[in-house]
Structure 1
Amino acid sequence: MTGAVARAQPGTSVPVRVRPGAGRTRVGGRYDGPHGPALIVAVGAPAVDGKATEAVRKALAGALRVRPAEVSLRLGATSRDKVFTVTAPPAGWEQRLTDLRDSG
């Protein structure tokens, strides 16, 4: 398209601490990591070839009740400390995030 300007989608950053290789998927708890208070997400996928990251992205979307397409990795592709961007309107999921993160 001529003259079109690409704009970055707005979104909210969500710090996450990943626990790969868990017995089951679990979203909840707080970890004070390098990106601030993070939501702990345990997944059964191994930390190999991005499998755990993709499993976390889907688990996070499910826990926040947003579409997986509205959750993308921003930082930490090879780290257990990641930052995801959620582009869904925050009114629907921010309180859920706080409840999950602070549920311990």
Structure 2
Amino acid sequence: MDNYQLPITNYQLPITNYQLPITKNGEKVMTFYHWEGEDLVLFVHVQPRASRAGIVGVHGDKLKVKITSAPVDGQANADVCKLFSKVFGVAKSRIVLRSGHTSRDKCFCIKSPKNLPDLIASPMRISR
């Protein structure tokens, strides 16, 4: 079971009308995430009470996520953690909400994700 990976095909992240900022050396970079060693830090905009749950795409400089639950008693935060657990192939205990406990704009840290959507470059592919 250690080698089992969840399919990411259901979690495609479309980009529409999004201009990527340019770095000094001319490479395009995303601003909704960064790496801290092997940990992925995501900046997320959450839309509660949606008809379907899932990752929608990029919303400004944040990753937009829709969830079906209401933002009551931390249920929305728990549902985002559950979604990220499936997408990134990690246990829910390895996902930490750093900021935005009562806001729609949140910061999550995912400890050593096993799976990465196409929009997120692994720390090995990032040239500094």
Aligned residue in 1 for 2:115: 93
Secondary structure of 2:119 counterpart: helix
Which structure has the highest strand share of the two? Answer: 1
Larger RCO: 1 or 2 (CA < 8 Å, sep 6+)? 1
> Aligned letter for 1:80?
R
Matches within 5 A, 1:1-104: 11-32=39-60, 37-89=61-113, 92-94=114-116, 96=117, 98=119
| Distance in structure 2 (CA, Å) of the matches to 1:73 and 1:31 | 19
| Distance in structure 2 (CA, Å) of the matches to 1:49 and 1:97 | 33
Please, which runs of 5 or more residues in structure 1 have no aligned partner?
A: 1-9, 100-104
What stretches of structure 1 move > 4 A for 4+ residues in a row? none
Normalising by structure 1, we get a TM-score of 0.70
Using the TM superposition, give the Cα deviation of residue 49 of structure 1 relative to its aligned residue in structure 2, in angstroms.
1.3
Report the RMSD for the aligned CA atoms in angstroms.
Answer: 1.8
Please, which runs of 5 or more residues in structure 2 have no aligned partner?
A: 1-37, 121-128
CA contact (8 A) 1:19 1:80 kept: yes
